[in-house]
Amino acid sequence: MPNANTPHSRALRQRTAIARRQQIIAEGGLNLTVLIHKPAADALRALTADGATKTEVVSEALLTAAKSKAL
């Protein structure tokens, strides 16, 4: 079922998103906004085509790169 678009429903989703963002930052996370060029954007779209989120894909790539660099 799609999200309801009533003012109350939108406000609830916004509060939930704000709370989640604040929790992640409080746990040491980072809120990051990135502007990428078309080739990288196309690669990201391809990686998320299977239903993975952008956050999941980027996080996994960063962790993989950090592990390979540490070796």
Kindly report, residue by residue over 16-70, the tens digit of the pLDDT. 999 999 999 999 999 999 999 999 999 999 999 999 999 999 999 999 999 998 7
Task: Looking at the structure, tell me whether residues 58 and 69 fall in a common domain.
Answer: yes
The residue among 4 and 17 whose pLDDT is bigger is: 17
The answer to whether 13 and 3 have CB atoms below 8 angstroms apart is: yes
The residue among 7 and 2 whose pLDDT is bigger is: 7
Split into its structural domains, the chain has a count of 2
Residue 3 has pLDDT above 90, yes or no: no
Residue 4 has pLDDT above 90, yes or no: no
Tokens of residue 62, six digits:
């960063």
Q: What is the dihedral of CA 33, 35, 38, 41, to 10 degrees?
A: -10
Task: Looking at the structure, tell me whether residues 25 and 36 fall in a common domain.
Answer: no
Q: What pTM, to 2 d.p., does this model score?
A: 0.69
Task: Looking at the structure, tell me whether residues 26 and 38 fall in a common domain.
Answer: no
Residue 8 has pLDDT above 90, yes or no: yes
User: Residue written as tokens 């930052």?
Assistant: 25
Where in the sequence is the domain holding 46, given as residue range(s)?
A: 32-71
Q: What are phi and psi of 47, to 5 degrees?
A: -70, -25
